[in-house]
């Protein structure tokens, strides 16, 4: 327990550094641009992470939204519950409903754009258009290649997930150790670990996959989804609201 408390306290101290929070969104854009440049120059050697079938991509990124929900749902409930009524907690949990709606709308839009802008080809070397396939799913199911405007879903979800997790972890900054449970501390450490993984995989996406414009657009959509909800809407009265601020924590 002492070790866990120490780890949590160090993580809390890290996230109190305002410049990290302030420039995190710009960090994602810089990584996206820099990684894309390195990809175009072909100076980054192939590694385990350049294989789409690496374990972190298959079992974490591909189901990243599920990981977000599994960790954030109990964390938001517990970290927002101290000296708060159930109405406030349930209202705060609505932020996950909003985030899921944004994630779904964006990813489905990306799929639709790729479908309406793409064509099916026999292979990369044989550029023969197969007109009988109208969607990427149909084309790939038949064993062929689809080439469309593919906005990077990875860049979107990894940037978006990181930004909203960091926002929701705010409530932990103001809970004194006596008000925390071991389970809440474990959830907090797990969220920090998943943030590190999301940032690492975002970097891997930037240097190994997609065209520059696809990655930059995906990143911008992720930042936009976070900004509109947490910076524009949530501070207003009729919204899920933000995690409690220090002045709002009603300690006895």
- Please identify every residue annotated as catalytic: 154, 210
Contact 184, 78 (CB under 8 A): yes
Contact 132, 112 (CB under 8 A): no
Q: Which of 28, 26, 168 is nearest to 99 (CA)?
A: 168
- How do strand 145-147 and strand 119-121 relate by DSSP bridges? antiparallel
Rounded CA separation 165/128 (Å): 45
> What phi and psi values does residue 126 have, to the nearest 5 degrees?
-105, 100
Q: Which of 158, 161, 159, 183 is nearest to 172 (CA)?
A: 183
CA distances from 23 to 59, 124, 223, 226 (A): 29, 40, 12, 14
């Amino acid at each position: 327990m002492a070790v866990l408390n120490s780890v949590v306290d160090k993580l809390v101290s890290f996230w109190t550094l305002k410049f990290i929070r302030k420039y995190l969104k710009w960090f994602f854009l810089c990584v996206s641009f820099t990684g894309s440049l390195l990809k175009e120059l072909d100076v980054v050697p192939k590694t385990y992470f350049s294989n789409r079938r690496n374990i972190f991509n298959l079992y974490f990124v591909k189901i990243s939204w599920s990981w977000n929900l599994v960790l954030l749902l109990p964390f938001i409930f517990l970290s927002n519950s101290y000296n708060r009524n159930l109405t406030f907690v349930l209202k705060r949990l609505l932020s996950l409903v909003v985030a899921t709606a944004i994630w779904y709308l964006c990813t489905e839009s990306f799929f639709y754009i790729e479908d309406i802008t793409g064509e099916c080809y026999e292979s990369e070397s044989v550029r023969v258009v197969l007109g009988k396939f109208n969607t990427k799913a149909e084309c790939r199911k038949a064993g062929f290649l689809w080439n469309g405007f593919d906005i990077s879903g990875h860049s979107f979800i990894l940037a978006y997930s990181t930004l909203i997790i960091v926002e929701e972890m705010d409530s932990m900054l103001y809970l004194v150790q006596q008000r925390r449970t071991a389970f809440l501390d474990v959830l907090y450490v797990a969220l920090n670990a998943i943030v590190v993984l999301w940032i690492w995989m975002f970097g891997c996406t930037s240097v190994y996959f997609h065209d520059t414009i696809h990655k930059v657009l995906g990143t911008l959509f992720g930042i936009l989804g976070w900004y509109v909800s947490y910076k524009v809407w949530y501070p207003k009265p009729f919204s899920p609201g933000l995690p409690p601020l220090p002045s709002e924590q009603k300690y006895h």
